[in-house]
Amino acid sequence: MIRKNRHGRGETVQSIRRGATTLRTPNITAAAQEELEAAGSDAERIESVASLVHGAFTDYYGRFRAIAHLAKTAFEARDWPASLALSQERLGIYGATVNALVPVILLHCPDVQGKDAFWADVEDQYLPMIDGLYHADLAYAFLNSVRRQVHADMWRASTYSSARARDEETAPHPVVTRRFDISGPVDAEQLVPVLTLAGFTRSWRDLDADAAAVAARLREAVREPERINGIEMADAGFYRNRGAYLVGRVLRDGLDPVPLGIALLNEADGVLVDAVILGSDDLQYVFSSTLANFQVTAEHYHEMAAFLFALMPDRPHGLQYSTIGYNHIGKVAVIRQIERELRETGEVLDYAVGSRGTVAIGFSAPSLGYVAKVIRDHPTAGYKWGVFPGVRSVLQKYSRVHEINRAGSMLDNIIYYNVTLPADYFTDALRQEILEAAGDNVIQTGAGLLFRHLIVQIKMIPFPVFLEGATEEEAELAILNLGQCIANNAAANIFNKDLDGRNYGISGIRKVYLFDYDAIEDLTDVKVRTNLDRFDGEEDIPDWFFEEGVIFLPEELETHLRIQNRHLRRVFRDAHGDLLTLEYWTEMQGRLDRGEVPRLTPYREECRLRPGG
């Protein structure tokens, strides 16, 4: 069981560990600041602010694009800590740039908060600066982020839009794929150009053997392989953690293409193919938002997201942007999708399926693929962790999960600030509770609810709800995946001190994910203790009882998960008995303290060319 400290105080989240590097300080030029400081009239201030925002965005975007190529270099050098640090920097650099820019604007223009006319004029000056840029929509989203942050302490609705900066009908659509023609049976010689399209400087362990093995897998696994006439690949490498991926589809004469992923590793003796991933479902899991974003060496993100959507049509288009690092474009797409689906179905938002949260109010609609949450001003009576650290602390934890490697076992989340949803989207009971229980962060303005924060996640079936209707075979698989979820989280230095099964959800492919983050801690900060070393009948208070911080007794994990069925408890113990031991958790803490990056495999064992290797 997890214990709060003896004083009943909750723990606050620590700052994000950034590996071997720290986040680069955004470059906001002294000249631009001096120009703003010297501005005497409103017209001069408007022009200076527009120029300052444009310069900050240009600096940000240059670094953002460079990071993807540095990730390739880190893969080639087998520098895994650098790979993780680059991933974290790429996620954090947008917010860091905005946060560095806003105080400069407010220092020299302290009266611009809430002045819509001022910001409309800034926008008019800014739009010509970004006109014609491929990434103009991202540049426009950046301006909106700055404006939103300037108004952060005000009840001010913000626009989540990039529509004014990009016309999809007239915008150019560069080609982001390469086609490799196949004549006759797929063989090794025809696969070598496919495997080497990323252009690694690192040598291969045995390129010809890997090409032959991939060709054999395609001949075995693709239906009617004699009709294969080509392979179309994204003209880029996809980098994440220790691995690299090549992504595309197998083309067949008269038949639908087969989505294809090729997973690469860089071992001490060279680059090798670890897995061939075929089919939309398996590829979709590799691209899941429960994993860290990919670093992709491709400039044209709209076309790349469209290509990925063609490969994985069951995954929302907006999330394809997020997966390749363009979170703010994906953010706009997701909120627009939610609004569109509610209008088209006529459904209304009501309480999410499962137990009511003590810290958050969760809501969704029957056909909607997302769940939204708002944090309560104060937790309900069921709160376990002493003094509530506040809404800001909880949001920091959700933000942290967005910025780390989620290990395939934690849902990513999007946090919207100052967003308005029509009041008639909600049932009366839900709307009333939101306004009463989260009134410090939600108000009704005319016909809408204005949320200071709104958390959005992909919808999952709560774990206990799934077990209620599952067959014995389905329940056993879910229990096995629950243990794997907990182990993966540990490898990402995430410990959920509220190990209650109600904080976990299950997807359509029966994977289990943690989705509630108000009780997460760094595993390296948790004090792992045991009572198994005590003598029978020993009644004195154990030493750990007097320690500060979060105390975890592994032998009580099974009870804490609330698995009532004896057979399922036995299944869990047989498969994941190591999670009930002091040794497992202290060894994992040691590995994390040493800066080791545990290897996580985000594809089925059957996809590997050398299963068990």
Alpha-carbon dihedral angle through residues 147, 371, 402, 357, given to the nearest 10 degrees = 110
3-state SS of the chain: helix, strand, coil percent to 5? Answer: 45, 20, 35
State the residue for tokens 């409309």: 120
**Cα dist from 590 to 187, 496, 549, 579, whole Å:** 46, 18, 18, 15
Pairing between β-strand 527-528 and β-strand 551-552 as defined by DSSP bridges: parallel
Q: Which helix (H) or strand (E) holds 230?
A: strand 228-234
Is 495 strand, coil or helix?
A: strand
Backbone angles phi, psi at 225, to 5 degrees: -65, -20
Distance from C-alpha of 480 to C-alpha of 487, rounded to nearest angstrom: 11
Is 247 strand, coil or helix?
A: strand
State the residue for tokens 């803490």: 589
Q: Which amino acid is at 8?
A: G
Is 392 strand, coil or helix?
A: helix
Task: Verify whether residue 412 is a known catalytic residue.
Answer: yes
Q: Which helix (H) or strand (E) holds 246?
A: strand 243-252
Alpha-carbon dihedral angle through residues 89, 92, 93, 97, given to the nearest 10 degrees = -150
Is 228 strand, coil or helix?
A: strand
Backbone angles phi, psi at 553, to 5 degrees: -105, 105
Show the 3-state SS of 530-591. Answer: CCCCCCCCCCCCCHHHHCCCCEECHHHHHHHCCCCCHHHHHHHHHHHHHHHCHHHHHHHHHH
Identified catalytic residue from 210, 274, 412, 522 = 412
Show the 3-state SS of 430-468. Answer: HHHHHHHHCCCCEEEECCEEEEEEEEEEECCEEHHHHHH
Q: Which helix (H) or strand (E) holds 403?
A: helix 391-403
State the residue for tokens 């600030």: 417
Distance from C-alpha of 397 to C-alpha of 385, rounded to nearest angstrom: 15
- Nearest-Å Rg of the Cα atoms of the chain is 26
Residue positions annotated with a catalytic role: 412
